[in-house]
């Protein structure tokens, strides 16, 4: 009778180790995929830079900002691989970078006359409010983390 719980415990430990290895393999594949996408985006930005036209500026900035977003995701995957504790900070950073990217692209489209003025201003306001909310969220999250330590 005493052998049954011990055998069950061994099965659970073995299964846990197996699933952890599978988890690590998937995380490494995701990390390589993220790096691959970042490299492709950088290559596209370099191509846009070499074949420069007036409309390339917004494309180059968009690609570079998107690479920043992707690299923040990569950092989060690496945190998971190294078994660090979960943090909202990288996701807040991603949101801030994405909103700043939106502000820059909208401003450029307004400057080039590609976007209607009233719609562009509304987009700028929305992106600015998102940045403000995320920065406030980061501030309160950091305060909460300090209090919980």
pLDDT for the residue 49: 85
Given a cut of 60, whether residue 1 has pLDDT beyond it is no
Q: How far is CA 109 from the centre of its chain?
A: 24
Q: What are phi and psi of 85, to 5 degrees?
A: -70, 150
Q: Which of 24-28, 64-68, 105-109, 130-134 comes out lowest in average pLDDT?
A: 105-109
- Tokens representing residue 40 in the block: 């492709």
pLDDT value at residue 48: 85
| CA-CA-CA-CA dihedral for 113, 118, 123, 129, to nearest 10 | 140
Which value, to the nearest 10 degrees, does the dihedral of the CA atoms of residues 42, 31, 84, 19 take?
170
In this prediction, residue 36 has a pLDDT band, given cuts at 50, 70 and 90, of very high
Q: Is the pLDDT of residue 89 over 80?
A: yes
Does the structure show a pLDDT above 80 at 71? yes
CA distance 120 to 128: 12
Residues 6+ apart with CB under 8 A from 54: 112
Locate tokens 């201003």: which residue?
121
Handedness of CA 139, 140, 143, 144 (dihedral sign): negative
Predicted local distance difference test score (pLDDT) of residue 59 = 79
What is the rounded CA–CA span in Å between residue 111 and residue 116?
10
């Amino acid at each position: 009778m005493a052998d049954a719980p011990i055998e069950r415990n061994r099965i659970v430990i073995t299964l846990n180790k197996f699933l952890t290895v599978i988890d690590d393999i998937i995380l490494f594949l995701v990390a390589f995929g993220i790096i691959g996408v970042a490299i492709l985006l950088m290559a596209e930005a370099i191509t846009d830079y070499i074949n420069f036209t007036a409309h390339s500026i917004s494309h180059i900035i968009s690609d570079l900002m998107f690479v920043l977003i992707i690299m923040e995701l990569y950092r989060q995957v690496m945190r998971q691989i190294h078994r660090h504790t979960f943090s909202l900070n990288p996701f807040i950073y991603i949101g801030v970078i994405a909103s700043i990217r939106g502000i820059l692209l909208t401003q450029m489209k307004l400057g080039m006359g590609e976007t209607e003025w009233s719609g562009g201003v509304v987009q700028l306001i929305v992106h600015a409010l998102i940045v403000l909310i995320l920065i406030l969220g980061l501030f309160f999250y950091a305060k909460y983390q300090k209090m919980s330590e």
